[in-house]
C-alpha cells in the first residue's frame, strides 16, 4: 500500500516557515518520493525562488519527481514538465496520484489550505515535521485544527540544530473540511482562526503604516489619496510600497490598525483561548464565536446564554459582510 506523508518545516511554537524557505521542499524531495503534492501558492513560490522557467530547470531543481498542484486556482507550468493540476473532490483524482507515485511515497507539502485539507480528509497517514530553533510568535499553524488529529510518535532525529519528528496519524475522518455543521464549537473556532491567519500571511508585508498624516508637521501630505503602505526600511516607519488606498483618514486609520501583524497576533490569542477553555468553559467559546454568528456553519445552540440579537449597527463589524472597496 502506498504511503502518504505530510511534510513541513516549522518553528518551535508550531508555525510554518515562510514559503520562500527551502526546508519543507527538502523534506518533500528527499529520497523515496514518488510524487509531490503542493498547493498553488507554494508552487508559484518554488518557481520564483528557484527561477524555474523550463522543464529542464524544473528537473534539475526538483529532482525530476512528478508534481501535482492541488486547487482550483490555475497556475503556470513549464511546457513538457511532469506536472498536472487537480481540484475538487480528492476521491476523483487520488487514484491517479497513486499511479504517479509508483513504488515511492506520496509527499504532501504543507503551506496551502488545499494540502492541509488532505490531512483533515484522511488522505494522509504520516507526518514528518522539521522543527527549527526559531520562535515566530504568529503565522500559519502546521495543522490548523490540532484537536481533530490524533498522532503517534514514530521517531525523532536531529539534523544540525533542527529536530525531525515523524508521526502516524490516527482516527482522522475523511471529511475534507476543517470544521462543519458536524464539528464541535472548538473546531469551528479554530477553522475560522486558520482562515484569518491564511489571509494575513498571504497579504503584502506584515506591518502597514499611513502614507499621509494631516497633523501639523506629520509629513507626506502631498498625495491625492489616503494611502496604506508597508514601512520603508530607509525611512524607519515612513511609507513604502502602497498596498491600499482608502476614502478618508478614518478608513486609513482603521486599516492600518488591523494590519497583518495585528491580525496574526489576535489569531494566536484566540487559538490559545480555545485550547485553554474548550473542555472547561464552553461559555467562553460561545462568546468567542459571536463575531462569526452569521457564518453558515455556526449553530444557533452555540450562542451565549442570554445573548441578544445584534443591533442594526453591529452588521458593520460582521466579518462575513462586505469589506472595504
Strands 33-38 and 67-70, by their bridges, are parallel
Q: What is the pLDDT of residues 145-199, one digit of tens each?
A: 554 567 889 999 998 899 999 998 864 433 333 333 336 888 888 888 888 887 8
Query: Which residues partner with 128 through β-bridges?
Result: 7, 166
pLDDT above 90 covers a percentage of the chain that reads 31
In the structure, what pLDDT confidence band is assigned to residue 212 with cuts at 50, 70 and 90?
A: low
* Selection from 17, 8, 59 nearest residue 37 by Cα: 8
Query: What SS3 class is residue 290?
Result: helix
Asked if 104 and 231 count as a contact pair (C-beta separation under 8 A), the reply is no
Backbone φ and ψ for 32, nearest 5 degrees, come out as 105, -10
The CA dihedral of 54, 59, 65, 71, to the nearest 10 degrees, is -20
Q: Can you tell me the distance from the alpha carbon of 63 to that of 31, in angstroms, rounded to the nearest whole number?
A: 10
Asked if 126 and 169 count as a contact pair (C-beta separation under 8 A), the reply is yes
* pTM for the whole structure: 0.56
* Selection from 247, 275, 251, 107 nearest residue 189 by Cα: 275
Asked if 152 and 33 count as a contact pair (C-beta separation under 8 A), the reply is no
Average pLDDT, the chain: 80
pLDDT at 54: 94
On the question of pLDDT at 52 being above 50, the answer is yes
Q: Can you tell me the distance from the alpha carbon of 28 to that of 51, in angstroms, rounded to the nearest whole number?
A: 19
Asked if 69 and 75 count as a contact pair (C-beta separation under 8 A), the reply is yes
Name, in order, each residue with C-beta under 8 angstroms of 130's C-beta and a sequence gap of 6 or more: 7, 8, 9, 10, 23, 24, 26, 27, 159, 162, 163, 164
Q: Which residue has the higher pLDDT, 127 or 123?
A: 127
Of the ranges 176-180, 198-202, 271-275, which one carries the lowest mean pLDDT score? 176-180
Mean pLDDT, range 104-126, rounded to an integer: 88
Query: What SS3 class is residue 153?
Result: strand
Mean pLDDT, range 287-298, rounded to an integer: 92
Q: Can you tell me the distance from the alpha carbon of 205 to that of 232, in angstroms, rounded to the nearest whole number?
A: 11
On the question of pLDDT at 278 being above 90, the answer is no
Q: What is the DSSP string of 161-215?
A: TEEEEEEEEES--S--SS--TTS-HHHHHHHHHHHHHHHHHHSS-S--EES---S
| Structural domain spans, the chain | 4-170, 185-202+261-317, 209-258
Residue 302's Cα: distance from chain center in Å? 26
pLDDT at 238: 67
The DSSP element (H or E) to which 268 belongs, if any, is helix 260-277
Asked if 85 and 11 count as a contact pair (C-beta separation under 8 A), the reply is no
Which CATH architecture describes the domain 4-170? 3-Layer(aba) Sandwich (3.40)
Q: What is the side-by-side order of every strand in the sheet holding 83-86?
A: 83-86, 67-70, 33-38, 105-109, 4-10, 126-131, 162-170, 150-159
Amino acid at each position: 500500500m502506498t504511503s502518504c506523508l505530510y511534510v513541513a518545516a516549522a518553528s518551535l511554537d508550531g508555525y510554518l516557515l515562510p514559503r520562500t524557505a527551502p526546508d519543507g521542499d527538502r523534506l518533500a524531495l528527499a529520497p523515496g518520493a514518488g510524487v509531490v503534492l503542493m498547493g498553488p501558492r507554494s508552487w508559484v513560490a518554488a518557481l520564483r525562488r528557484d527561477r524555474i522557467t523550463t522543464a529542464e530547470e524544473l528537473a534539475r531543481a526538483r529532482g525530476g519527481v512528478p508534481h501535482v498542484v492541488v486547487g482550483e486556482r490555475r497556475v503556470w507550468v513549464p511546457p513538457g514538465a511532469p506536472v498536472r493540476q487537480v481540484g475538487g473532490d480528492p476521491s476523483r483524482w487520488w487514484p491517479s496520484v497513486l499511479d504517479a507515485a509508483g513504488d515511492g511515497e506520496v509527499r504532501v507539502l504543507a503551506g496551502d489550505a488545499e494540502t492541509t485539507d488532505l490531512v483533515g480528509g484522511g488522505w494522509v497517514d504520516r507526518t514528518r515535521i522539521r522543527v527549527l530553533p526559531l520562535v515566530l510568535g504568529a503565522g500559519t499553524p502546521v495543522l490548523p485544527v490540532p484537536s481533530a488529529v490524533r498522532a503517534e510518535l514514530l521517531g525523532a532525529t536531529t539534523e544540525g540544530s533542527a529536530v525531525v519528528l515523524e508521526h502516524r496519524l490516527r482516527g482522522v475522518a475523511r471529511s475534507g473540511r476543517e470544521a462543519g455543521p458536524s464539528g464541535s464549537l472548538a473546531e469551528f473556532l479554530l477553522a475560522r482562526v486558520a482562515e484569518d491567519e491564511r489571509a494575513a500571511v498571504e497579504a503584502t508585508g506584515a506591518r502597514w503604516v499611513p502614507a499621509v498624516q494631516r497633523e501639523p508637521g506629520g509629513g507626506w501630505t502631498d498625495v491625492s489619496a489616503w494611502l496604506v503602505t508597508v514601512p520603508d526600511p530607509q525611512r524607519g516607519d515612513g511609507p513604502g510600497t502602497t498596498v491600499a488606498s482608502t476614502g478618508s483618514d478614518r478608513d486609513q486609520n482603521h486599516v492600518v490598525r488591523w494590519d497583518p501583524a495585528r491580525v496574526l497576533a489576535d489569531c494566536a490569542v484566540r487559538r490559545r483561548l480555545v485550547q485553554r477553555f474548550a473542555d472547561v468553559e464552553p461559555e467562553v467559546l460561545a462568546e468567542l464565536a459571536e463575531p462569526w454568528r452569521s457564518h453558515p456553519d455556526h449553530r444557533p445552540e452555540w450562542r451565549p446564554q442570554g445573548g441578544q440579537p445584534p443591533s442594526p449597527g453591529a452588521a458593520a463589524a460582521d466579518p462575513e459582510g462586505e469589506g472595504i472597496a
